[in-house]
Amino acid sequence: MMEPSLHQAFSSGEADVGKRFEQFYIAVEQSPVATAITDASGHIEFVNQCFLDVTGYDRDELLGQTPALIQSGMTPDVVYDELWTTLREGKVWQGELLNRRKSGELYWEAQTITPVKNTAGEIVSFVTVKEDITRRCEQENELRLMSVAFDTGQATFITDTDMMIRRVNHLVSKIKRNTPWRFDLALRP
């Protein structure tokens, strides 16, 4: 339902409001942040182009659906319970979710979901802004794995798919310094 002040502005013929609305719509549609608006029951009413780009879905495939369409099934139910409890209390929810693109590929996203209230204080919709953080999560995971591998107390090195050495720990460096062994930068099978 349209707010009374906005409704009055449109029906009174104020051209400036229409211009501002169009400007706002274009700004959200072209935003580099994925944005979705749902009704109070969670059915999608709007998604911007970035949302489509991130998920791989077409607009008509999303409108009227719930965000469950993109859920991976791997996020614990307790996370969604906490999310909905927070939103129903009229509070903003922020968190990270593992979702699934239309292609089936998994991706991580950081989300902020804000309840939108009418003048009576009732929640009428939710606005979600989200960012694909898959690359950051992969880098953090790689750093954790490297930290574990390099703190083993054993000489450790990491190679790429061509068997070129990309990283060595301090013990490999110590062996290289203290032995006549020739240290090649590539391993051959």
- On the CB side of 37, how many CA atoms lie within 13 Å of its CA? 11
Q: What is the pLDDT of residue 72?
A: 95
Q: Long-range contact list for 4-13, CB < 8 A, 24+ apart?
A: 4/119
Q: What is the pLDDT of residue 13?
A: 57
Q: What is the pLDDT of residue 1?
A: 46
Q: What is the pLDDT of residue 119?
A: 94
Q: What is the pLDDT of residue 2?
A: 47
Chunk the chain into consecutive blocks of 10 residues (it has 189) and report each block's average pLDDT, rounded to whole numbers: 50 70 87 95 96 97 97 94 96 96 95 97 97 84 73 70 72 59 48
Q: What is the pLDDT of residue 112?
A: 98
Would you state the CATH architecture of domain 31-133?
2-Layer Sandwich (3.30)
Q: What is the pLDDT of residue 181?
A: 46
In the chain, domain spans: 31-133, 138-178
